[in-house]
Amino acid sequence: MTSASVAAFPKLPGREIPGHVECKSCALLLARLVCGRHWWFPLLREPLVRGMCLLAWWHGIDAREYPVGNRDCAGCIRFMKAGLELSSPLFRFLNGLVGEHFSALRNARLSTAELELARRVARESMEQQQKLPPQDGTAAAEPAAREG
């Protein structure tokens, strides 16, 4: 998902972004790999992403507001999912129905090396993010791990 996809919806005022989001694998890299190989994968993925964008807009979540150490991470769906997990009972219900099946479908189309590459890219991006100064002006923030 690109930042432009998230930008389609205006931000609603008065919403806080969740704390630290822990990335375990690069969702963008995984999606690019599978979409490049299977013409039908975007037909499954994009409605789900658009639905998340709509729910994020409804709940005032802007994935672009999360501090990132890698510009490719700006606006990532992982941040949107983290906010929706906290804010939206509907998202939690739908993600519980579809999330694991979608991840399994995607991952079954990738090699072990590609999955490891996505984990390494995420780990390196998280290391870059930890070098950023805290946004609230306090000392180092205590990360609250979130799985995406």
Q: Residue 31 and residue 36: Cα distance in Å, rounded?
A: 8
Q: Which residue has the higher pLDDT, 131 or 128?
A: 128
Lowest mean pLDDT among 7-11, 37-41, 46-50, 69-73: 7-11
Kindly state the tokens that stand for 24.
């375990």
What one-character-per-residue DSSP string does 69-134 give? SSGGGTT-HHHHHHHHHHH-HHHHHHHHHHHHHHHHHHHTTS-HHHHHHHHHHHHHHHHHHHTSPP
Which whole number is the average pLDDT over 136-144? 44
Q: Residue 37 and residue 110: Cα distance in Å, rounded?
A: 10
Phi, psi angles (nearest 5°) of residue 57: -60, -45
The pLDDT value given to residue 22:
78
Q: What is the pLDDT of residues 77-129, one digit of tens each?
A: 988 999 999 999 999 999 999 999 999 999 999 999 999 999 999 888 888 76
- Write the DSSP symbol of residue 59: T
How crowded is residue 61: how many other Cβ atoms within 10 Å of its Cβ?
A: 30
Query: What is the total residue count of the chain?
Result: 148
